[in-house]
Amino acid sequence: MGGSQSVFTEEELDDYQELTYFTKKEILHVYKRFRELNPEKVSEVNKNVQLDNETILELPELKVNPFKDQITKVFSSEGNGDMTFEDFLDMMSVFSDNAPKNVKVEYAFRIYDFDGDDMLSSRDLKEVVDRLTGEGQKLGDEEMQQLIDNIFEEADLDDDDSLSFAEFEHVISKAPDFVNSFRIRL
């Protein structure tokens, strides 16, 4: 087996570089991480094989993320959490330090939109808060409702009891630490 450079043609690397926020060297590193998830299945012959969701969730950064199932679902081309290398590369690119904030915000919105209706309802927000607080620190019903009411008071500009992408984007623009929390380091 040759060096990792032989895995992709120069043209493939150029295409991946054009479509992501990565350098060619970083793309090869992402491929190495993808391959390490299942070395028997991912080979130079079959480099864009699909890995099941369970395997993808073995990635240490996802394993500890309370939104891991939503993240893999959003980045999976089939929407079931299973990923090809290209799906995995897209995910890693969006979570990279080089991805612009507006791209990160768009994907965060999709990850938090549990019912997939392009709006963040009180049910979506409750799920987000529950996942962020964890089992041991769940809010009571009254505290949860107060928090959701406060979020809507601050962010729901059209008073429809849900957040559109534009409203979500507006709120996130006020959160200076958002970009730092929405990343996976290579």
Contact, 95 vs 183, CB < 8 A?
yes
**Residue 181 pLDDT:** 83
Going by C-alpha positions, the residue among 42, 46, 44, 66 that lies closest to residue 55 is 42
On whether the CB atoms of residues 159 and 174 are closer than 8 A, the answer is: no
Length of the chain: 186
Amino acid 48: pLDDT: 81
In angstroms, what CA-CA distances link 64 with 103, 109, 133?
Answer: 23, 20, 13
pLDDT tens string, the chain, 186 residues long: the values are 444 446 899 999 999 999 999 999 999 999 999 999 999 999 877 888 999 999 999 999 999 999 999 999 999 999 999 999 999 999 999 999 999 999 999 999 999 999 999 999 999 999 999 999 987 788 899 999 999 999 999 999 999 999 999 999 999 988 878 888 888 887
Domains of the chain plus CATH, in order, are: 10-95 (1.10.238.10), 112-181 (1.10.238.10)
For strand 162-163 and strand 120-121, is the pairing parallel, antiparallel, or unpaired? antiparallel
Specify the pLDDT at position 2: 46
Cβ-based neighbours of 85, under 8 Å, separated by 6 or more: 31, 34, 42, 47, 48, 49
CA distance 132 to 126: 10
Q: Report pLDDT for 163.
A: 97
For the record, the structure tokens of 149 come out as 């009411």
Structure pTM? 0.90
